[in-house]
Structure 1
Amino acid sequence: MSLHDHDLRDTAGSPVGFDHSLDYVTVTVGEQLLGLPIARVHDVFITNRITVVPRAPSEIVGLLNLRGRIVTAICLRKRLGRPPMPGSADDKAEMVAVGVDHGGEAYALIVDAVGEVMRLDRSTLEPPPVHLDRAWAMLAAGVHRLSDRLLVVLDVDAILKLDMPAAA
């Protein structure tokens, strides 16, 4: 079913078949395919204008201005415990970001790449495997086994739950 099938409705006015599927915006960190629930994603954009925040947790890259709104930029690579991307030391480099909201605040998840919107059957969602890296398992809502790889579905609320340093 494509995204253009939104005209198909049941007697209650709900889209036919949509209650049996889950939609994700796919992103990659390293070679791993990750899924962000589409309902949580507000923007996908490229930025190179980030203001560093002193004494912020290492996962917070800084702040950026997105159409007049101050957005906290979080490096998903660091949040998942991955080493920095080669060549990412250049603070003028463009970064790919996915905009999400949490508790009335705007965040940008900095990722290696953004893929496509993927619709998967709800019945194929499984709990995170027991052998999944502990840091990843704490941030995963589940997985879908695709024909060629694993799609790790991220829990946006868990990703944005950062240990903030105590105020001085």
Structure 2
Amino acid sequence: MENNRLTDIEMGEQSTQFLTFIMAEEEYGVEILDVQEIRGWEACTEIPNMPAYVKGVINLRGTIVPIVDLRQKFGLEHIEYSAITVVIVVKVLVDDKSKVMGLVVDAVSDVHTIAHSEINLPPQLGPDNGPSVIRGLVSIKDKMVVLLSSSLLLDLEQFQDIENMNVHNAQASIVANG
């Protein structure tokens, strides 16, 4: 890893497309292949005993999808949702299981094709940082974009109860349809 950059060999590909979005006037990105769909903000069903950044769940074609406000998750100032507030529904494999989550963001920005050699590793700020959701950093048009790891965003322990709801609903559906 020369110059604190991920090499093409480490990444296994030459470039990747990222969907970028805005939060608190900063730009973030997730891999476009992880994006299942983009939806406008809609009210969701609240779930008790979840962290404040978990707004609730929606039923997306039979799948219970937790909705996470990334502003709150990242400790950014709260703003009221508006007509441009969107939910980016991401789906990835984590521990051989397909996981889906909706990410509430201020607005969608663009799709960028980013060469792996342009991605800088995230800074290590201390020995007890734990796993970061930051995949890397890249400069696009003189602006730093934070690339997020969808699989690490979705690998959150507090969603175990929501996953259990999906299993329970699937079992109930099987029993009902017999």
TM-score, normalised on structure 1? Answer: 0.73
2:137 is matched with which residue? 143
Distance (whole Å) between structure 1 residues aligned to residue 118 and residue 33 of structure 2: 19
Distance (whole Å) between structure 2 residues aligned to residue 166 and residue 65 of structure 1: 17
CA 1:99–1:119: 2 relative to 1, 3 Å: same
2:52 to 52, 58, 70: 58
Give the total of aligned pairs: 141
Tell whether 2:91 aligns with 1:101.
Answer: yes
Structure 2 gaps, min length 5: 1-12, 162-178
* Cα drift, residue 163 of structure 1: 4.3
Percent identity over paired residues: 26
1:71 is matched with which residue? 65
Structure 1 segment 83-102 matched on structure 2, within 5 A: 83-85=77-79, 87-88=80-81, 95-102=85-92
Q: Which has the higher helix share?
A: 2
Tell whether 2:18 aligns with 1:24.
Answer: yes
* Cα drift, residue 130 of structure 1: 4.9
Counterpart residue identity of residue 153, structure 1: L
- SS of 1:126's equivalent in the other structure is coil
Counterpart residue identity of residue 70, structure 2: L
Q: Would the aligned equivalents of 1:57 and 1:163 in 2 still touch at CA under 8 Å? A: no
1:3 is matched with which residue? none
Q: Would the aligned equivalents of 1:57 and 1:165 in 2 still touch at CA under 8 Å? A: no
Q: Would the aligned equivalents of 1:96 and 1:112 in 2 still touch at CA under 8 Å? A: yes
Tell whether 2:101 aligns with 1:111.
Answer: no
- SS of 1:152's equivalent in the other structure is strand
Cα RMSD (Å): 2.5
Q: Would the aligned equivalents of 1:35 and 1:152 in 2 still touch at CA under 8 Å? A: yes
CA 1:166–1:34: 2 relative to 1, 3 Å: closer
CA 1:57–1:96: 2 relative to 1, 3 Å: same
Distance (whole Å) between structure 2 residues aligned to residue 68 and residue 47 of structure 1: 19
Counterpart residue identity of residue 43, structure 1: E
CA 1:147–1:129: 2 relative to 1, 3 Å: farther
Q: Residues 90-148 of structure 1, C-alpha deviation per residue, up to 9 Å, x if partnerless?
A: xxx664111112432321011111111111111101101357xx98x822010111232
Distance (whole Å) between structure 2 residues aligned to residue 141 and residue 71 of structure 1: 23
